[in-house]
Structure 1
Amino acid sequence: MQEPKEDKEKNDDGHGHAIIQNNTEDRQEEDDTDREIIDPELDDKRLVRKLDMHIIPLVMALYCFSFLDRVNIGNARLYSMEPDLGLVSSQFQTAVSILFVTYVLCEIPSNLVLKKFTPRLWISFITTAWGVVAICQGFVQSYGGLLACRLLLGAFEAGLFPGLTVYLTMFYNKRELALRIGFLFVSAAIAGAFGGLLAFGIGHMDGVGGYHSWRWVFILEGLPNLALGAIVFFGLSNSPDSTGWLSPEEKADMVERREREYGHTASAQELHMEDVKKAFKDWKVWVFGIASFCTCNMLYGYSTFLPTIIQGMGKWTPEQVQLLTIPCYFLGVVTYMTVAYTSDRLQRRGVMCLVLGLVCIAGYAVLLSSASASARYAGCFLIAMGLYALVGLPIAWLPNNCPRYGKRTTATAIQTTIANLSGILAPQIYPSSEGPHYVKGNAISMSLVAMSTILYGFLWFWMARENRRREKRKAWLPHYQTMSEEEMADLGDEMFMGIKNLFSIIKDEAPDAIKEGEIKNQFGRKVAIDASMSIYSFLIAVRSDGQQLMNESGDTTSHLMGMFYRTLRMVDNGIKPLYVFDGAPPKLKSGELAKRFQRKQEAQEGLEEAKETGTAEDVEKFSRRTVRVTREHNAECQRLLKLMGIPYIVAPTEAEAQCAVLARAGKVYAAASEDMDTLCFNTPILLRHLTFSEQRKEPIQEIHVDKVLEGLGMEREQFVDLCILLGCDYLDPIPKVGPTTALKLIREHGSLDKVVQWMRTDPKAKERHVIPDDWPYEDARDLFFNPDVRQADDPLCDFKWEKPDTEGLVQFLVNEKAFSEDRVRNGAARLEKNMKSNQQSRIEGFFKVVPKTEEEKKAHKRKLEEQNEAKKKKLKVEKKEKAKAKAKPRGTA
């Protein structure tokens, strides 16, 4: 087989020796592209079914008995509990309400410790604890003893519902969550219906063991929790990664699902106080909480007092009343599961809340009327239709909009805490003296449901308007097309744009900021490398006969070839590389990602046409344009780096921003990327061409940001404004503003704010430069100054270069990807040898870098201001001369 040719095309990173067939021992080095994999819908459904099988039954059992133990006091009441304990006046209502005092106080703390103690241990503990307390209710002898048990029951049960809600978000995505939370409310309905049926049976145990029936209600319904506590301890998984019933491939799929849905990173799944604070500051969380308070009042009032309400409609025995509650709960379950399934598919929760709120209002109106008993019983069915949906849908709605664990956990706890305050109110509005119609209780419940309907309508309207506003903000971008979050997450860093023309400006205005040299000049230095950019360049450049490298199985290997051999080259030259992978793209980048997606679609169409009618050159050209970095590429490169002993980290968002943080903190000498916007994130030094092929003979460019600022006569704020004006990944440049004009405008006006103001107020400028009303330059500036990154003191930023796993490399690259075994073993030996010998540092490492004093900083600032002022004066002079030249009559000398 012939040796693969070196790619010379502009913007390519190097060459590659391909593995096209399994016996290609002489096909050699370098990059590999990944095969495109798409999450097969069939596999995803199979995975979800497996999750349901292992998670849902246990979760449902937990919440069923939790809810049953909370409300079974209403069933026990029918069997002489009040006279036995000597309860008078409103003491029963107080006993029901007081549970929610500790329930509300303990919800947020319980959710915040869930991660620390792990879901398995914490949920097992609280389940066992409330089971013991529930049983103890059957042995109380006084009103005081009952209150003590209810307080403890509330404290231990507080953490279950918010904890399970957060737990489910670890396994299910947005389009699956409402239905799964729906199973919790199915459990509540089962508890209501089964509780009535069970109480009907237990009612016949009066006198057994010397105890009245109400005591057996508490004892028998509390016992199953002890068994559940043990099952949770041994059977509940803390996270997808810790499950024993998911295969490694399924665990990888879970990671992909999570990232695709929320843009999650490992850091985002840890509890950070900053995320907790954001939850408390978000007004929408509090609106959700208030609305949930209104609907939960209905839930608790209905669930606890439905037997009493039905009993007041006619002359029925306690057993008949228990049976009459069952159809209501059954309808509530059917309605909610239908609505939950539909809302998951349509992702429309607000409109469902509006409709069902109106249905519940109609149900309460019937109960408040003087209609017959059968009509008022029908009103109970209308209320049941919205009973669980109005509570359950918002509990799925809110966490869907909180991708980070800390905010999601806290927001859910705030929501349920406020909601459960209604448990204190609900019993008080249904006093015995108001029976049998309970006008006051039903009127208050109807008013609160109406209020919740208005609030959910407002949230629906506000979110819809906000989404339209965001779409409008992006709509002016050429060729923009609306994309879902999943589609944007799929794009990844498929193409790089960076800052247009920035390098040419630096080269002209601040040439001293750029140093060029050989790779060996970087000996002894640690460098943070933009992995996503590198992988993309490998897929473009590492080819054979114009095609990406593949093994006999058809797997693309360009990305692996590039990552393996280019990393070896760096290590051979004394460099310690550290790779940084992109996390979820910032939402502000969605417009640029959508344009890239469209360009790739157009390129794909061109490729298909070229295959039919074009030349080999056309096929190769369009083939390059369709390249995209997928999750599998990233995952395979991360696996390879781990086997090579090379550290890597996944950034919360932009890899360049994370590289810059590590460079500023001294963790590495420089950030390495082809993206010039790395300078905007304030990396002290940017290295370019570091991962290029040796055959390209491209020198390593070393750009020093302090000299860039000095050469341009700018502070960092002005430099970032210049870059935004030139055009960055987050928004397009202003029409008819090229590099020369952009530089001139920033120097003349001093800031982008003033440039924009000038363009919007000056008649000539306004006509020439059309800026959208909502051009988000301030958002772009904020992303450069306050990117979402891991700080250098994060434990995950404590990097170690390890000994390579030779046999692991052979298994992966040779057995799975058909690389040459000799070359792989030789590369592993080079890695081990060089990593040992590269322990020595450069001489600069032995000297302490003394930062500038305040006086030196002020002097430097004055110098920059003077330079800037001189340039402004020069521009004014040039402007006057041009004006004079234009004013001269034609033909004059």
Structure 2
Amino acid sequence: MTHASSLRDSDNNTTTYVSNEKFSDIQKQDVEQASDVFHNIDEKKVLRKMDLRLLPMLSILYLLCFLDRGNIGNAKIEGLPEELGLVGPQYNLCLTVFFFTYAAFEVPSNLLLKRLRPSIWLPSIMVAWGVVMTLMGVVQNYAGLLTARIFLGVAEAGLYPGVAFYITMWYCRHEAQYRQALFFSSASIAGAFSGLLAYAIAKMNGVGGYSGWRWIFILEGLATVVVGFISFFVIHDFPETASFLTKDEREWVVARLRNQNTDSRGRQLVDEETFSWKYVRDAFTDWQVYLALIMYWGIVCPLYGISFFLPTIIKDLGYSSSTAQLLTLPIYITAAIVSVIAALFSDKAGQRSPFILGFFLCIIAGFIICIVSSGRGVPGVVYFGTFLAVVGIYPAFPGNVTWLSNNLAGGYKRAAGMAIHIGIGNLGGAMASNFYRTQDAPKYILGHALELGFAVAGTLAVLILRFSYQRVNFRREEALANEDSTTGPSVATSSERGDRSLTFRYML
């Protein structure tokens, strides 16, 4: 009995289904089929060209996005609350409101990306949030800061889910996590740069009559606007129109996406899509999206809790502001390196859940260390706990997003499903914004405990999702065993049901 898998040709809005014994057999078969037709194409050379032309700019975009989103944590220890007269929970509320608009606008943004050119949509929203970030440097009170954070959420909403979906338009499923990790690792690098830049920019305190924290917002916002305008001319839309590829290479990229799933007789089962709200409804009613959402919260709550409060946590261990800024560097740089290495092994193994599970255990261990060692006069141990937690958080994130995208078939359904997953998932940031309270300093036991609880819930979600996928795959194999071995499931049935087809196999 052969297994069946489904992968997506996003560029042509098609879903293909294939019977195969193992996912690795599909990869081998794809290469062999492509080689027969495009015998002059050097696969590694073309993929390297794609990586060099696509990933650096995407990484820079997300680096600036995450930098602009999280630099408020650096501004906080440089005097922002005191100058704006923030009292009580007002600082935390400024963090929280960002996620409400961020979550609300992710699904419509991804649908617009599907219909518009990425080279227009992505740079446009980047310029928009750069302007908002720059203006955040001139706010005068709590109301101004709150309003700026609301509009920052609107502008930034489309970038991460948009780029995550954009990558699936260029790369096959077994190549996705490595590229997602390269792209997302810029977030951890942003964390490192944030501390370094804040340390340097804060020295401008008093220049032009502005405080150092204001210059953090102004200069980083202006940098985003400049890069946004440049990206209009650098981002490529689709493989069919990629000027950096030759005609044969463009055809080969499109063909390998289309041919990555064929059955044992070389037959393609293709579903040509035009937009329909049915695909959006399918995404909203798919059980796996909501189970993956719990897993997402288990990662994103610790992610934002660390992103917004790590400088404060380190400072409250007894370090100066400048030292606290610099001590964030080794944590984030290590996390970026581990993310890329883990993604390489995950793609090679064709497995997602074992790696995600392992990193969840790192997160859990890190927060346990923070809880048991806080207030005991061992700041180095607490620092190690945060180090371990971050090294678990950042590699787990691209694996989490890639795993769901691998298991959603259909361009519009995947676009909507990923936006729901990431959009509602980022409401975890709204929760995490309130975990670390001023009155809990310097131990922050409540914040660490809440992060630990979400990480445990995420771990359980990984296990349930893996076992659920296995069970569904097994049942579909049994159902297919009862089909006519000559004709198999009909093309219509497979194409209409997408990832709910009997011929679709979930990646584990």
Give your verdict on TM over 0.5: yes
The whole-number CA distance in structure 2 between the counterparts of 1:338 and 1:71 is 25
Q: Give the superposed CA RMSD.
A: 2.2
Which digits, 9 at most, give the CA deviation of each residue in 1:57-111, with x for residues without a partner? 1000100000000000000111111111010111111111111111011111111
Which of 328, 332, 339 is 2:331 aligned to? 328
Give 1:78-117 correspondences, 5 Å limit: 78-117=77-116
Q: Please state whether the residue corresponding to 1:234 is helix, strand or coil.
A: coil
The whole-number CA distance in structure 2 between the counterparts of 1:330 and 1:72 is 17
* Aligned sequence identity (%): 36
Aligned amino acid, residue 193 of structure 1? A
Determine which structure has greater relative contact order: mean sequence separation of CA pairs < 8 Å that are 6+ residues apart, divided by chain length.
Answer: 2
Which digits, 9 at most, give the CA deviation of each residue in 1:128-167, with x for residues without a partner? 1100000000010111011111000000000000000110
The whole-number CA distance in structure 2 between the counterparts of 1:448 and 1:411 is 22
Which of 465, 468, 490 is 1:462 aligned to? 468
Cα drift, residue 177 of structure 1: 0.9
Give 1:65-84 correspondences, 5 Å limit: 65-84=64-83
C-alpha spacing 1:142/1:44, structure 2 compared with 1 (3 Å) = same
C-alpha spacing 1:186/1:269, structure 2 compared with 1 (3 Å) = farther
Give 1:199-218 correspondences, 5 Å limit: 199-218=198-217
Identify which range, 367-376 or 443-452, moves more after superposition. 367-376
Q: Please state whether the residue corresponding to 1:402 is helix, strand or coil.
A: coil
The whole-number CA distance in structure 1 between the counterparts of 2:106 and 2:170 is 22
What does residue 299 of structure 1 align with? Answer: 303
Greater helix content: 2
The whole-number CA distance in structure 2 between the counterparts of 1:784 and 1:302 is 48
C-alpha spacing 1:303/1:452, structure 2 compared with 1 (3 Å) = same
The whole-number CA distance in structure 2 between the counterparts of 1:160 and 1:56 is 14
Q: Is the 8 A contact 1:271 1:405 kept in 2?
A: no
Q: Is the 8 A contact 2:175 2:347 kept in 1?
A: yes
Aligned amino acid, residue 458 of structure 1? I
Q: Is the 8 A contact 1:111 1:163 kept in 2?
A: yes
TM-score, length-scaled by structure 1: 0.49
Which digits, 9 at most, give the CA deviation of each residue in 1:208-258, with x for residues without a partner? 111000000001111122122222222212211121111111111111221
Identify which range, 260-269 or 371-380, moves more after superposition. 260-269
C-alpha spacing 1:328/1:117, structure 2 compared with 1 (3 Å) = same
Structure 2 unaligned spans of 5+: 1-32, 263-267, 497-508
C-alpha spacing 1:785/1:257, structure 2 compared with 1 (3 Å) = closer
Q: Is the 8 A contact 1:162 1:412 kept in 2?
A: yes
Cα drift, residue 268 of structure 1: 4.3
C-alpha spacing 1:46/1:317, structure 2 compared with 1 (3 Å) = same
C-alpha spacing 1:262/1:313, structure 2 compared with 1 (3 Å) = farther
C-alpha spacing 1:273/1:337, structure 2 compared with 1 (3 Å) = same
2:396 maps to 1:393:
no
The whole-number CA distance in structure 1 between the counterparts of 2:421 and 2:194 is 27
What does residue 367 of structure 1 align with? Answer: 370
What does residue 423 of structure 1 align with? Answer: 429
Aligned amino acid, residue 343 of structure 1? S
C-alpha spacing 1:471/1:206, structure 2 compared with 1 (3 Å) = same
Q: Is the 8 A contact 2:311 2:328 kept in 1?
A: yes
What does residue 339 of structure 1 align with? Answer: 342
What does residue 457 of structure 2 align with? Answer: 451
Cα drift, residue 276 of structure 1: 2.0
What does residue 163 of structure 1 align with? Answer: 162
2:47 maps to 1:289:
no
C-alpha spacing 1:39/1:240, structure 2 compared with 1 (3 Å) = same
The whole-number CA distance in structure 1 between the counterparts of 2:441 and 2:49 is 49
Q: Please state whether the residue corresponding to 2:88 is helix, strand or coil.
A: coil
What does residue 310 of structure 1 align with? Answer: 314
Q: Please state whether the residue corresponding to 1:313 is helix, strand or coil.
A: coil
Cα drift, residue 439 of structure 1: 0.6
The whole-number CA distance in structure 2 between the counterparts of 1:784 and 1:452 is 37
Aligned amino acid, residue 360 of structure 1? I
What does residue 186 of structure 2 align with? Answer: 187
The whole-number CA distance in structure 1 between the counterparts of 2:331 and 2:203 is 24
Cα drift, residue 357 of structure 1: 0.9
How many pairs are equivalent? Answer: 456
What does residue 432 of structure 1 align with? Answer: 438
Aligned amino acid, residue 353 of structure 1? I
Q: Is the 8 A contact 1:259 1:265 kept in 2?
A: no
The whole-number CA distance in structure 2 between the counterparts of 1:426 and 1:114 is 29
The whole-number CA distance in structure 2 between the counterparts of 1:397 and 1:93 is 32
Q: Please state whether the residue corresponding to 1:369 is helix, strand or coil.
A: helix
TM-score, length-scaled by structure 2: 0.85
C-alpha spacing 1:787/1:332, structure 2 compared with 1 (3 Å) = closer
Structure number with bigger Rg: 1
Which of 397, 409, 412 is 1:403 aligned to? 409
Which digits, 9 at most, give the CA deviation of each residue in 1:592-627, with x for residues without a partner? xxxxxxxxxxxxxxxxxxxxxxxxxxxxxxxxxxxx
Q: Is the 8 A contact 1:56 1:183 kept in 2?
A: yes
Q: Please state whether the residue corresponding to 1:223 is helix, strand or coil.
A: helix
The whole-number CA distance in structure 1 between the counterparts of 2:247 and 2:201 is 48
Identify which range, 136-145 or 251-260, moves more after superposition. 251-260
What does residue 12 of structure 2 align with? Answer: none
Q: Is the 8 A contact 2:172 2:257 kept in 1?
A: yes
Q: Is the 8 A contact 1:298 1:426 kept in 2?
A: yes
Aligned amino acid, residue 431 of structure 2? L
The whole-number CA distance in structure 2 between the counterparts of 1:785 and 1:164 is 31
The whole-number CA distance in structure 2 between the counterparts of 1:445 and 1:464 is 29
2:388 maps to 1:382:
yes
Cα drift, residue 334 of structure 1: 1.6
The whole-number CA distance in structure 2 between the counterparts of 1:153 and 1:417 is 15
What does residue 243 of structure 1 align with? Answer: 242
What does residue 525 of structure 1 align with? Answer: none
The whole-number CA distance in structure 2 between the counterparts of 1:293 and 1:268 is 34
Cα drift, residue 42 of structure 1: 7.6
Q: Please state whether the residue corresponding to 2:161 is helix, strand or coil.
A: helix
Which digits, 9 at most, give the CA deviation of each residue in 1:554-604, with x for residues without a partner? xxxxxxxxxxxxxxxxxxxxxxxxxxxxxxxxxx7xxxxxxxxxxxxxxxx
The whole-number CA distance in structure 2 between the counterparts of 1:325 and 1:414 is 31
